[in-house]
Amino acid sequence: MQSFNIHAHAALTLSRLLPLIDPILTNGAPRRTFESRLQVYFPTIFRLLYELYGDRYDFYYHLEQLLIDLAHAFDERPVELHALDEQRIAQPNWFQSHDMMGAVGYVDRFAGTLAGIQAKIPYFKELGLTYLHLMPLFNSPPGKSDGGYAVSSFREVDPRLGTMPELKALMRELRANGMSLVLDFVFNHTSDEHEWAKKAQAGDEHYQAFYWMFDDRTLPDQYEPHLREIFPEQAPGCFTYRADLQKWIWTTFYPFQWDLNYRNPDVFRAMLGEILFLANQGVEVLRLDAVPFIWKQLGTNCENLPQTHVIIQALNALVRIAAPALLFKSEAIVHPRDVRSYVSGHEAQLSYNPILMVSLWEALATRDTAFMRHTLTRYFPLADDCTWINYIRSHDDIGWGFADEDAAEMGINGTDHRFFLNLFYIGRFPNSFAVGYPFNFNPRTLDMRVSGTLASLAGIEQATKQGDPHKLSLAIGRVLLVYGVLLSIGGIPLIYLGDEIGTINDYSYRGDPALAADNRWLHRPYADDIGYAQRADSTTVAGRIFLPLSQMIRARKMLPVLANGHTHFVETGNTHVLGYRRHDDLLVLANFSEREQMVMTTILATLGFETTALVDTITDQALKITNDLTLEPYQVLWLVVRRST
């Protein structure tokens, strides 16, 4: 309980702080823009930071420094990005358009270098992309980089990929072609070779306080029983002993990834500095890596704590002032309720949608959409100032993140169901179509996740090896079914590059000692040049995926009804068939089984879709329905009523 009026205090504080920016922002018009945004957001910033750091003797000093940093960042922001800011402010829902289409991949694996990525722009346009996420590309020590997620400098591009000027030029070029660049912001930890970590190792106490360091096991022993082990096989435990420092260090992930201590306002300020630096290079979306872990509190599991939200909200409000075109995307692969807790215009405008991802795999394995419908009805709808990033595969493993209590409501035992899904997707369940591999089995909790590409998990690898054309058709059907949902359900669809041509697991990582222990490299394949060359050939696997997917993407871009929002899940009367309406105008039906399925005419009529005039907007074909509607195995339809007058 505050004994003073925080709003009045914020206003007073701001009036006292304002003179600090006089020497930085001297020009009238920009100064007015900055100040008017400050008037809007400072009360929020003040309230949030007060919550985190208000009890510190140096709170006011940190506020001063933040304001100075913010003014400098605003002042240094290139003219074209100021123009972009204005454009985004004028059209704040730009990212919710049906035109949005995303893809993600590793620079080196997809195109060798940044120059290689630049050369792929025609291909990205062919795909219809508006959003390109390049996997971590900053400096990261070879051999201990966790796929780039151990960052040793947030301001230097990995020299093997290119340079900072090249990255800037690429962003400009992408933007000129209608694409926004998305980069990771790995802000829960740094590499132990980051300059801050090196200074800490050299004994600099200022930088030691950037991390969580303990002289002995007393506190780690109190924290640890409550914590989740993320990589129990390769990196057991959450603390690492460093003999050089004679200290225990908090390392949620690999031992060389040191968790940052956000209780220290210096860390908050330093990381805001990195955000604004990246924003001023031209990055449009920052993916907030491992966001659930950034605040720690003894006695809790140190995930999704309230202060984590306060930090993101504060960073977001600060960004609205200095670089408002920048959006945040949350990466929280946690309980569905917690996933959703980060997504809003005030926090992360975008979020991975692991809820949908898991549901899709679950329904493909069971051929039953009841649990999926239950889950999505509960968790899919978002406020209208944010949106989902809908994906089926990322560079990470798949963890079965549904809620046990939701499963129980459906008569499903969560633990058993996870066990089944794991067995199914590692191909150990009778008649499984999947070729996946177990990732991080934890003997203590029996928890496990799955690695593999979309094509391999959907059955293409197995069918190809067995030379079974029927199985191959079904597997391709699964891939297209998934895309039929991702592209129509509401949000930004995200393709993992390679998946659009059916790239199967890449086993080459096993021969590389730096990668062999981490089988997530299975599904981070190199670009398959042969597959890409075959993409227009409908007799090849690549073409059988790429051509119909391209058709769906074109169809999506012509259907404003597929923009974000207004997704209503409906009862189709057939448990194998998922159904949802987009507004009242379009009905998606998706058959998750390898058999023909019927949906009754009477049910369609109650939903407002008379079978006499139905058109599938993917193919633009009128449906000829004599009795009830029949869906082919794995067929997906985007139906509208179109009466010829």
d(CA 167, CA 147): 19
Cβ proximity to ligand OTU, 69 vs 146, nearer residue:
146
d(CA 394, CA 383): 25
Cβ proximity to ligand OTU, 14 vs 290, nearer residue:
290
Cβ proximity to ligand OTU, 51 vs 447, nearer residue:
447
143 burial level (CB within 10 Å; 0-12, 13-18, 19+)? exposed
Cβ proximity to ligand OTU, 344 vs 519, nearer residue:
519
d(CA 331, CA 352): 6
Cβ proximity to ligand OTU, 450 vs 481, nearer residue:
450
Sequential DSSP letters for 521-549? GGGSPPP-HHHHHTTT-TTSHHHHHHHHH
Name the packing angle between helices 354-366 and 370-379 (round to 10°): 170
How far apart are CB 559 and ligand OTU at their closest, in Å?
Answer: 32
Cβ proximity to ligand OTU, 257 vs 575, nearer residue:
257
How far apart are CB 451 and ligand OTU at their closest, in Å?
Answer: 10
How far apart are CB 221 and ligand OTU at their closest, in Å?
Answer: 23
Cα-Cα end-to-end distance for the chain: 66
Residue owning tokens 């933040």: 66
Cβ proximity to ligand OTU, 135 vs 475, nearer residue:
135
> What is the SS3 assignment for 463-488?
HHHHCCHHHHHHHHHHHHHHHHHHCC
How far apart are CB 353 and ligand OTU at their closest, in Å?
Answer: 13
How far apart are CB 254 and ligand OTU at their closest, in Å?
Answer: 8
If you compute the radius of gyration of the chain from its CA atoms, what whole number of angstroms results? 25
How far apart are CB 202 and ligand OTU at their closest, in Å?
Answer: 25
How far apart are CB 260 and ligand OTU at their closest, in Å?
Answer: 12
d(CA 466, CA 627): 38
- Pairing verdict, β 213-214 and 247-250: antiparallel
List the one residue out of 489, 492, 388, 400 whose CA is nearest residue 447.
Answer: 400
Cβ proximity to ligand OTU, 107 vs 604, nearer residue:
107
Residue 331 annotated in active site: yes
Sequential DSSP letters for 579-608? EEEETTTEEEEEE-SSS-EEE-HHHHHHTT
d(CA 23, CA 21): 6
d(CA 254, CA 237): 9
Task: Provide the binding-site residues for ligand OTU, judged by CB under 6 A.
Answer: 146-147, 149, 186, 230, 253, 289-290, 292, 331-334, 395-397
How far apart are CB 230 and ligand OTU at their closest, in Å?
Answer: 5
- From 192, 289, 499, 500, active-site residue: 289
HSE toward the beta carbon, residue 277, CA cutoff 13 A: 12
How far apart are CB 136 and ligand OTU at their closest, in Å?
Answer: 8
Whether the CB-CB separation of 98 and 563 falls below 8 Å is answered with: yes
Cβ proximity to ligand OTU, 47 vs 395, nearer residue:
395
How far apart are CB 313 and ligand OTU at their closest, in Å?
Answer: 18
In a 3-state reduction of DSSP, which class is residue 569?
A: strand
Whether the CB-CB separation of 639 and 615 falls below 8 Å is answered with: yes
Whether the CB-CB separation of 448 and 422 falls below 8 Å is answered with: yes
d(CA 599, CA 630): 7
- From 331, 347, 499, 518, active-site residue: 331
The token pair at 290 is 């491992």
Cβ proximity to ligand OTU, 191 vs 313, nearer residue:
191
The token pair at 384 is 């209208």
Sign for the CA dihedral angle at 347, 351, 356, 362 comes to negative
Sign for the CA dihedral angle at 197, 203, 205, 209 comes to positive
d(CA 424, CA 462): 13
Return the active site residues. Answer: 289, 331
